[in-house]
Amino acid sequence: MDMMTAHQTRSLTEAASAANPKVVARDVNVYYGDKHALNNVSVDVPDRGVMAFIGPSGCGKSTFLRCINRMNDTISICRVTGKITIEDQDIYDPELDVVQLRARVGMVFQKPNPFPKSIFENVAYGPRIHGLSKSKADLEGLVQEALMKASLWNEVKDRLHESGTGLSGGQQQRLCIARAIAVSPDVILMDEPCSALDPIATARIEELIDELRNNFCIIIVTHSMQQAARVSQRTAFFHLGTLVEEGATQTIFTNPTDQRTQDYITGRFG
Amino acid sequence: MTDVTFLPGAPSARRLDLTSDAAKARVRSRYRSEARFRWYGICAIVVTAVFLVVLITDILIKGLPAFTQHSLSIDVPVTAELADPEGKGTPEALAAGDYNKLVREAVRSHLGIEGRAATSNLSKLLSTGSGDGLRDAVMSDPKLIGQTVPVTALLSDDADLYLKGTGTKIERADGVAIATPSDVKGDITITAPGAFAADTAALRDVITKRVATLTAGAELYEQSADATVRDRAKPLREEIATLAASISDANAPALLGSHVPSLLIAINGGIVKLSSLTNDTASGTALIPLKSAEAAQAGAWQRVTYVTPEADRKVDDAKVALLDRLQADGKVSRGFNTLFFTAGDSREAELAGIRGALVGSILTLAVTLALCLPIGVMAAVYLEEFAKKNWFTDLIEININNLAAVPSIVFGLLGLAVFLNFFGLPRSAPIVGGLVLALLVLPTIIIAARAALRAVPPSIKEAALGVGASHQQAIFHHVLPLAMPGIMTGTIIGMAHALGETAPLLMIGMVAFIVDIPAGFTDSATALPVQIYLWSDLPEAAFKQKTAAAIIVLLMLLFVMNGLAIWLRKRFERRW
């Protein structure tokens, strides 16, 4: 908690972010069998803020996102080289427990995927398996806090024990966000969280992301350049498995240095 | 193709043709083909439905009568010399009493018949278990000895079948003249002027036709070159001679044989079976003694015809007369056949039940389920979620699929060789049956469980992994519970398959004749389908009914199990 207050005092300027990055990736290569999916990606993700990964389909942005919580381990043919650290800890260290890593790095998926259980159980599952709550009352408080942070509490407080799959798509996605933040992760990864939602639900999720960035390091993959421009402070542009350009969002969208970035953001391809 | 370039968006030279005759013909042909396909489908369903209806109707018609049984209600005076021959009054002494004879004597005295033939007829009408109820009553209350006890005694399978309508039609007509019997028992001649003229004429016609038929047959035999075949003509010639003599003279008595409908006279409380007939007199034997030899007025006596000739039925005239009388006295009742569900197998059809086979099946299935469910589910979870995909797991997968296609008798032979001969487990025991059926069902359950696990969307597993659940936690907390309805459905269908399986059980000796109801997993037992197989092999008509009834019970169990599977699927079906 001491660290948190210390971080909060720091302003979210570019320089400060670069000076104390949360996630550091160096020369990350990913191979799916023989296919070289990601080529020498090096990037620093600042703490407290939103970083957006953009790029055309198949450019490797989701692959890179899934390297950060080692979700790619579940694909047997996938091989990762290079180094990724979170708070100076190498996450590909053989000594590291991948399950604990995933508790520290929450993930929100493209399609809302609540467990087919009650709303309460959806949120309580993570804290329960990680032993975060001491008592039933404590757990209830924790669930309420997570739902409030995900700005879903007011909509579901009267039906916590109804099925999570009965909610609307946007509510389901906010439930998934609540589920992710219930275990107090350091980093939240979002893989196109709004692509299955209508514009109103998308706006609510974007609002929520904007609130969450004060407390979490968020990395979001998106197809929508407008969304990247709206919610992120930094943007990385991927193309054909390489990181083409990375910088402050405003700079990327107004004054990109690379021609490919220029072509992509002006809609010439992708 | 080489020098033509296709510009994107350029108008094509080909036009979609919707109006020409060829186009219309194409549409008509498509409609015809769709209609034809629909008719193929309807025909296939109709044919299947007809076969199913025929099969079920046949089984129901044959089997439903076996769920009821006829028994006799009669007051039995319990005498000490038969119930307790040693006079000790101990349970062993009471158990040794001849209760069947007590019941038989009571029926005999009710009907007023005597002699060895009557005793023999009665013991064939009454079941060998007819005294069982009385024995139980006397053993639980020895004070009944010396009293008259109302008893419900089981009838034999032949009597039961006769009463269920497979015997003969009985026609009755009032006698038209004053009839005078010559005696009350033994051989009796009844004189009733003119009363039998029509019957005699009809009988003479029948005899004339039979003589003609027999003569044709005899001539055929006599033409043969083989001496033994020619010899077969001799008894025919003798019968022809007797029959011809009986109709040679208009006044000679026409003979009633076993090949013509039986004619009887019910007069003065007795029944006389006729053996010869003239216009004015009828001679025969008293099946039930007459109360008096007085003359009976027209209308006070009856001519009774058993339409099916005696030679064509299992129950002869004497027994039909006795049953007919008992029924007329209101002593025969038809009730639900509880014995069928409470008794084990028996050599007597009326005493045989399916309890032993049912319990055997349940014990066997319990062993199968206890082995199959945990092993099958764990194997499926491991193969689907944890095992590395390499040539070895591929080999295992292929072999599991192959095992599902192995003929069941092979599993029976395996059980015989491994469980009985190598491990020395008891023969005919449900535990061995369960082990063998477990081998048979295991592939089915593994395949069903893997399909159910695959049907759970991967997003659920990803979600669990995403909040920091380990792979095993994700499987056991989320994937397996969601796959459980599918796994249960597969298991129940596998169990239903095992319930109907016969061949492997034959190989491990569960095909024995076992009277006792098995009490444990190592007792000798048989199973429902094996019981059906055993009964279907027996010659008695009553066992044919029992076979059909046991099939009905088995089908009901299968319907219930499959219904349960469907209900589970509907109840726990989840949508994503």
Low-confidence ranges of chain B (pLDDT < 50): 1
Q: Please indicate if any CB of chain A lies within 8 Å of the CB of B389.
A: yes
- For range A76-82, the mean pLDDT: 89
- A 146-165 near B (Cβ less than 8 A): 165
> Which among B460, B469, B477 is the nearest to A113, CB-wise?
B460
Per residue in A113-171, pLDDT tens?
999 999 999 999 999 999 888 889 999 999 999 999 888 999 998 999 999 989 999 99
Query: Which residues, in sequence order, are CB contacts of B498 under 8 Å at separation 6+?
Result: B364, B365, B368, B437, B440, B441
Q: Please indicate if any CB of chain A lies within 8 Å of the CB of B573.
A: no
Rounded Cα–Cα distance for residues B452 and B94 (Å):
62
Q: Is the CB of residue B505 less than 8 Å from the CB of residue B528? A: no
Rounded Cα–Cα distance for residues B434 and B366 (Å):
7
User: Which residue in the block uniquely carries the two structure tokens 């990803």?
Assistant: B462
Rounded Cα–Cα distance for residues A187 and B275 (Å):
109
Encoded amino acid at B429, one letter: A
CATH class of B350-572: mainly alpha
> Which among B466, B574, B576 is the nearest to A106, CB-wise?
B466
> Residue A222's pLDDT band (boundaries 50, 70, 90)?
very high
The answer to whether residue A2 scores a pLDDT higher than 50 is: no
Q: Please indicate if any CB of chain A lies within 8 Å of the CB of B469.
A: yes
Rounded Cα–Cα distance for residues B179 and B182 (Å):
10
Cβ within 8 Å, pair A129-B473: yes
**Of A18, A140, A134, A21, which is closest to residue A88 (Cα–Cα)?**
A21
Per residue in A179-219, pLDDT tens?
999 998 989 999 999 988 889 889 999 999 998 998 899 99
- For range A10-16, the mean pLDDT: 39
Cβ within 8 Å, pair B469-A71: no
Q: Is the CB of residue A197 less than 8 Å from the CB of residue A169? A: yes
> Which among B463, B468, B575 is the nearest to A113, CB-wise?
B463
Within 13 Å of residue A187, how many CA atoms lie on the same side as its CB?
Answer: 27
Q: Please indicate if any CB of chain A lies within 8 Å of the CB of B465.
A: yes
Q: Please indicate if any CB of chain B lies within 8 Å of the CB of A46.
A: no
> Which among B389, B468, B478 is the nearest to A183, CB-wise?
B468
Rounded Cα–Cα distance for residues B394 and B174 (Å):
86
Residues of B within 8 A of A102 (CB-CB) are: 465-469
Q: Is the CB of residue B287 less than 8 Å from the CB of residue B318? A: yes
Nearest CA in chain A to B479: A115
Cβ within 8 Å, pair A74-B465: yes
How high is the pLDDT of residue B433?
94
State the count of interchain CB pairs (< 8 A) between A and B: 69
How high is the pLDDT of residue B417?
93
Rounded Cα–Cα distance for residues B450 and B444 (Å):
10
Within 10 angstroms of residue A109's Cβ, the number of other Cβ atoms is 20
Helices B317-328 and B99-111, axial angle in degrees (round to 10): 80
Encoded amino acid at B97, one letter: G
How high is the pLDDT of residue A1?
38
Residue B463 Cα, gap to closest chain A Cα (Å): 7
Rounded Cα–Cα distance for residues B209 and A255 (Å):
121
ipTM, two decimals: 0.86
Per residue in A231-245, pLDDT tens?
999 999 999 889 999
Residues of chain A with pLDDT > 90: what percent? Answer: 50
Residues of B within 8 A of A109 (CB-CB) are: 459, 462-463, 466
Rounded Cα–Cα distance for residues B431 and B105 (Å):
47
Rounded Cα–Cα distance for residues A26 and B555 (Å):
68
**Helix, strand or coil for residue B339?**
helix
Angstrom CA distances, A105 to A82, A98, A108, B4, B38, stand at: 19, 10, 10, 57, 56
- For range A25-37, the mean pLDDT: 91
Rounded Cα–Cα distance for residues B237 and B215 (Å):
7
Residue A57 Cα, gap to closest chain B Cα (Å): 20
> Residue A10's pLDDT band (boundaries 50, 70, 90)?
very low
**Of B286, B211, B278, which is closest to residue B242 (Cα–Cα)?**
B211
> Which among A71, A109, A179 is the nearest to B459, CB-wise?
A109
Q: Please indicate if any CB of chain A lies within 8 Å of the CB of B479.
A: no
- For range A251-266, the mean pLDDT: 90
Query: Which residues, in sequence order, are CB contacts of A172 under 8 Å at separation 6+?
Result: A112, A114, A164, A165
- Per-residue 3-state assignment (H helix, E strand, C coil) for B215-278: HHHHHHHHCCCCHHHHHCHHHHHHHHHHHHHHHHCCCCCEECCCCCCEEEEEECCEEEEEEEEC
Cβ within 8 Å, pair B462-A176: no
Cβ within 8 Å, pair A179-B460: no
Q: Which of A76, A77, A86, A102 to mutate to test the interface with B (most CBs of B within 10 A)?
A: A102
DSSP tally for chain B: helices H, then strands E: 22, 11
Q: What angle do CA B505, B506, B507 make, to 5 degrees?
A: 90
Q: Please indicate if any CB of chain A lies within 8 Å of the CB of B299.
A: no
Nearest CA in chain A to B387: A76
Per residue in A82-116, pLDDT tens?
999 998 889 998 888 888 899 899 999 999 999 99
How high is the pLDDT of residue B251?
72
Q: Is the CB of residue B463 less than 8 Å from the CB of residue A176? A: yes
- For range A24-39, the mean pLDDT: 91
pLDDT, greater one: A175 or B90:
A175
Phi, psi of B302 (to 5 degrees): -135, 145
**In chain B, what are the domain boundaries?**
21-65, 68-164, 168-313, 350-572
DSSP tally for chain A: helices H, then strands E: 12, 10
Phi, psi of A29 (to 5 degrees): -120, 140
Q: Please indicate if any CB of chain A lies within 8 Å of the CB of B468.
A: yes
- Spell out a b/e string for B342-353, using b for 16 or more CB atoms within 10 Å of the CB, else e: ebbbbeebbbbb
Q: Is the CB of residue B438 less than 8 Å from the CB of residue B371? A: yes
Nearest CA in chain A to B389: A76
